[in-house]
Every structure is written in C-alpha cells, then in structure tokens.
Amino acid sequence: MKSRIILVLNMILLGLPLTRALAQKAPLNQRYKIAVVDLMILKRQKLGAFQLTRDIGADGVEVDMGGLGNRETFDNQLANDSVRKMFLNKVKVLSLQIPSLGMTGFFAQSFAERPTAVKAVEDCINTMKQMNVKVGFLPMGVQGNLIKYPQLRGAIVTRLKEVGKIAQSAGVVIGIETALDAKGELQLLKDVDSPAIKSYFNFQNALDNGRDLEKELQILGRKNIVMIHCTDTDGQWLQNDPKINMEKVKEALDKMGWCGWLVIERSRDIKDVHNVKWNFSANTTYLKSIFQSTNQ
C-alpha cells in the first residue's frame, strides 16, 4: 500500500495522469470514503465532473444544486429528466457515487430571511429522492452566522424544524454547517430536535477559530455528524498542513465509531491553486493512505 501511495504522489508531482488501476474505487463496505465537490473542481452541475472525479481517484462527488441568487429556487439542471438520467448513467458507468447534493447558494443567501428558503431546500430534497441521494448539504453561510447575528437563531430553528419534517418524510438527512463551535452546534441540533437534521462538520471552521479538531468531533458525537468536509483553507496540501494531524483525526473517528464520507473542498497548494487535478489528486491520495489503507 505504501509503495502505491508513493507512486501516485510521484505521478501527481510530475503531472502524469492516474491510470484506472491506480485510481481504483473503494469497496462498497469501505468504512471511510473520499469525495470531491463538483463546484470546487470547477464542474458545477457538469457531466464532466464524474470523469474528472475518476481521474482524481476519489470515490464520489458532491453535486451542487446550482446557483441561487435572487431566484425563488436553485438554477437546478437536475430537475430536467434527461439531464438527471445522463448524470446517473455516468455515475454507474464510472463506478462512482453521489453521496450528497450541495445547496451552496446559501453561503451567500439568507436561509433565515429569504421568503422562499424552505421551498428551495424542499426542491433539493425532491431532487435527492429522484437520484437516490441520502444527504443534502445546507450551509448557514455569511448571512446566517449565528455568532455575528444571534438574533436570527429563532428563525433558523423554526425553518430547520420545517425542513426536518420534509426531510424525515422523504427518508433523507440535511447536514447543516454553522459558524458555531461544537457545543453551540450540538445545542442547535437539540433545539431543532429532528433526526433528519444533523451536522455536516467542516474542519476549516474549527481550524480558523483555533479549536481542537478531535475534541470538536467528540463533542458533537457519532450520531450527530452526517458527513465531513475534511479540508482546511487554501495554502497547502493536507499532508503538509501543520494544523491537522490526520492520523489523530482518524483515531478519534475510529473511537467514536463514526463511518461515512470525507469530502475535499479546499487545502489547495497556493503555488498553483487553480490546478484542479494536481491539488485534488494529491489530497485524495493522502486521505486514502490514512483512511483506506489495507493495514489500518
């Protein structure tokens, strides 16, 4: 396994393409799986995201719902039956998975204050059902930062309760990202009180605020974390990031009994931040060496 990882990293550094044999998919029973985000590999709702994901070596891709802006709902191409069918066929052909749909439009738009916010999330849930995707990513974003705007808490809780009922009825889970620390997010989940609303934990949020990554995960607990965005802000690859001890992260997750998808957003090398394959292949290979090693 170790020699394979070294070979793949050397190929990445030399700019050589990964072969199908090297970029093999994770077994179906793999405890941890690695995904990328179509938006961050510059293929938002584009069919080419899947081949690029395969070339990068990841097991799946989080597909975005499209832009939001001032629209009533997302600019969602997946609402088109023929487009959705093409996406699902491509996933099957390439032996990939879509672990989640992303509602990244809410990074800039207000979930608490937009009149049609719940409708937009419901549209995502409907698309999830059509594609058999079990997790939706819902960030509270800049305008829903509960540290800066604590007065929005009531509206956010009320709307998340409403979303939770819709999601539970559909048999899916909505994973939220907030600016709160683990204790604060855990209390928010308790206030919402829905089995269909969980934390979509983000390493970068914890690291940017000087929080202990392993302790934050432990505070939230296994049952409250649906998926994990497992990267830091851009600057360097995960393997070179002094703020993250990935072996300790894995140890913490193992002890918690957590399993699921680790999703790569950032941690791009600042020397060439726009080189998608170079950056995401390196981080994917490193994460697989930690979380999918045969001797672990």
Class of domain 32-292: alpha beta
**Buried b / exposed e across 225-255, counting CB within 10 Å, b at 16+?**
bbbbbbbbbeebbbbebebbebeebbebbee
What is residue 293's predicted lDDT score, i.e. its pLDDT? 83
Q: What pLDDT digit, counting tens, does each position of 15-67 carry?
A: 444 433 344 455 556 899 999 999 999 999 999 999 999 999 999 999 999 99
Q: What pLDDT digit, counting tens, does each position of 168-214 carry?
A: 999 999 999 999 999 999 999 999 999 999 999 999 999 999 999 99
Q: Where exactly are the structural domains of the chain?
A: 32-292
Residue 169 has a CB neighbour count (10 Å cut-off) of 10
Cα distance between residue 138 and residue 105, in whole Å: 9
Which DSSP helix (H) or strand (E) runs through 228? strand 225-229
Q: Which two tokens stand for residue 246?
A: 């990935």
* List of residues 6+ apart from 150 with CB closer than 8 A: none
Amino acid making up residue 219: I
Q: What predicted TM-score, i.e. pTM, was given to this entire model? A: 0.89
Lookup result for tokens 């199908």: 20
Cα distance between residue 91 and residue 50, in whole Å: 7
Dihedral pair phi/psi, residue 12, rounded to 5°: -65, -45
Average pLDDT over residues 137-162: 97
Fill in the DSSP letter of residue 216: H
Is residue 34 exposed (0-12), middle (13-18) or buried (19+ Cβ within 10 Å)? buried
Beta bridge partners of 64: 102
Dihedral pair phi/psi, residue 201, rounded to 5°: -70, 140
What is residue 1's predicted lDDT score, i.e. its pLDDT? 46
